[in-house]
Chain A
Amino acid sequence: MTEVVAGPRRHVRLRATKEFFSRLFERVGAWVGVAALAFFLILAAIPGPIVGPLETAATASGDFLTPPDSQHILGTDEVGRDVLNVVVHGARISLTIALIATVISLIVGTTVGITSGYYGGRVDVWLMRLTDFFFIVPSFVLALVIAPVFVEVIGRGREVLGFRTSLFVIVVVIGLTSWAFVARLIRSQTLSLRERPFVDRARVAGSSDLSIMIRHVLPNLVPQIAANGALVVAGAIYTETALSFIGLGDPVQPSWGTLLSLAQQAGAASAGAWWYLGAPGACVLTVSLAFVLLGNALDDTFNPRRRAIP
């Protein structure tokens, strides 16, 4: 009997999901966003087969700062590395940092937001004061303060979850500074959801607070979480770029921000080496824009009556 029930139920969800995607892809923004993201995700997933292993100063083959030609489509940098090679490898670092930081931010923000909105009262007041604190903490200052401490404690050359220490600091910093926005949003939605009669009904049915939050409130927050998650990724990519640009990145695992920083130090702007600054810069812009477009399209699809605030 169970199988008989579970089968059609899965079928119903599948149908609903299909419907949702067909409505989502009626929007041009969704197409552009998903296409751009798919492109960069492929680059990030398999940089080796596309451009070969990451070039270093030792393995660099080209001349210094040559403009794009047939051999180096995006020119070379100040030590002769192929810019295309490092930019493609940078995609992996930049996207991974942004996505992991977003996951941290969504988990923390959603947990704090639901707890705060659901319990209200004193819990709400204290959690929201905490949120206010993280709202105003500037990510740069926080990064500058915790980076040396962190590197000292863990050790410079070590890897945490596949990241070298300094990159892990960036993940943590972005995660810590971006969840406050998510928490506020989720809290306001929870405030309205918890007054809905189905929450009263769940209580009369004997459900615990935790189960009401997970089984009744959270599923109704999926649209907000998905739409804003995409916007958080866009913000995270910017922050990662900026933090790397001011020197918090790791030269051994270069992200786009690190490349921009290196280009700036090499005097690419004054030397007229537009390809060196332009390639990683265009990537940052494209990916951020793709996530914003996707986020807005998701938001519009979930709730056509409300225009998204980018």
Chain B
Amino acid sequence: MDSILGRSKGAVHAIDGVDLTIGRGEIVALVGESGSGKTTVGRVITKLVQPTGGRLVFDGIDMTSVQGFSALRPYRHRVQMIFQDAYQALNPRHTIFDAVAEPLRSLKLVSSESQLTERVSEALSAAGLNPPQEYFTRFPHELSGGQRQRVVVAGALVVKPDLIVADEPVSMLDVSIRAQILQALIDMRAKQNLALLFITHDLPLAWLIADRIAVMYLGRVVEIGSADDIIFNPKHPYTMALRDATPQLPADGRPSGIKALQGDVPSAARVPKGCRFHPRCPLALDRCKVEDPPALEVGKEHLAACWQAN
């Protein structure tokens, strides 16, 4: 009744207990179903939402409580984001030049118009839009979906950041264009030692591009490890089920024996007691219903939040 009257007071923890480290020049993939909170992790890292708890440390500096656009400028210079929906992420009334130049202008990274033009051209080329001058005066509605996504990528690359949070950057694109965008990102990593948090629901893609994979379920990272470990040697039953449900992955001859998952992800407003995965877990024990498993070390740099991971 309270919620009908708009008086609902229960707080929803979209993410809870996410422990994630990204090294310099590393590509970490964050994998999970819709509603698992992976986008929220990205929004916390890019300071678009303020977390109620926890810490965000970047290059040794605690960024958790830093707020306001001017205080965040140095951070924005080093951390950028690529948005999922390129149709919505560009202002329909700004030209491509203005869209890409925006971070340079608002972060005051260039001192002259010619330098601005040079940086914008460089970013557009790096994102695969050649020749860049052709695009300067175009508006987003004059471009194809793939071209728009490249503009979004260029807008993130233009400040030469250290970390880019890419929220499903290729999920809305054709397969042929996907490869080009991914290649642009991988090239930038090689060139600028760029770190990437790659948010996706696509497990094969994560395996392909990432050094490490973190699997999220209902707001928590349930397993994290090197890409090969997660795909070929998963320890958490949720990861196993995800893996087995993805036929495109190369078979390693050892099906995990997990049946397809039943039911839906529970609402984040009513997270199950104990292990949050136990209602859907085919291996659940009595212990899982009462005690929430911590992240247990199951291998070299491989953690899984499951009582039976060993």
A residues sitting closer than 8 Å to B (CB atoms) are: 1-2, 5, 8-9, 11-12, 196-198, 200-209, 211, 215-216, 219-220
Contact = CB atoms under 8 A, between A and B. Distances in A.
11 contacts: A12-B95, A197-B84, A197-B89, A201-B90, A201-B152, A205-B102, A206-B72, A206-B106, A208-B69, A215-B94, A216-B94
Interface string B68-82: 011011001100110
A247 B17 CA distance: 71
Name A's interface SS.
helix
Contacts of A201: 81, 83, 89-90, 152, 155
A203 B136 contact: no
A247 B92 CA distance: 49
B48 A204 contact: yes
Contacts of B107: 205-206
Contacts of B169: none
Interface of B: 46, 48, 69-70, 72-73, 76-77, 80-81, 83-85, 88-95, 97, 102-103, 106-107, 113-114, 117, 136-139, 152, 155
Contact of A206 (B48, B77, B117): B77
Contact of B137 (A5, A200, A202, A211): A5
Contacts of A1: 113-114, 117
Contacts of A2: 113-114, 117
B88 A205 contact: no
B88 to A, nearest CB: 4
Nearest to A216: B91
Given A201-B152, A204-B81, A207-B106, 13 more contacts: A2-B113, A5-B97, A12-B138, A12-B139, A197-B84, A197-B85, A202-B91, A203-B69, A204-B46, A205-B107, A206-B72, A207-B102, A219-B91
Contact of A220 (B72, B80, B89, B92): B92
A5 B136 contact: yes
A99 to B, nearest CB: 26
Contacts of B155: 201, 205
Chain A CB within 10 Å, residue with most, of B70, B103, B107: B103
Given A5-B136, A206-B76, A198 B117 contact: no
Contacts of B88: 196-198
A86 B42 CA distance: 68
A202 B80 CA distance: 11
Nearest to A7: B137
A5 B135 CA distance: 11
A205 B91 contact: no
Contacts of A197: 83-85, 88-89
A200 B83 contact: yes
Contacts of B83: 197, 200-201
B113 A205 contact: no
A209 B90 CA distance: 17
A203 B48 contact: yes
Contacts of B106: 202, 205-208, 211
B73 A206 contact: yes
Given A197-B85, A200-B83, A206 B103 contact: yes
Contacts of B73: 206
Contacts of A208: 69-70, 106
A219 B93 contact: yes
Nearest to A198: B91
Contacts of B117: 1-2, 5
A266 B194 CA distance: 84
Contacts of B81: 200-201, 204
Contact of B103 (A12, A205, A219): A205
B89 A209 contact: no
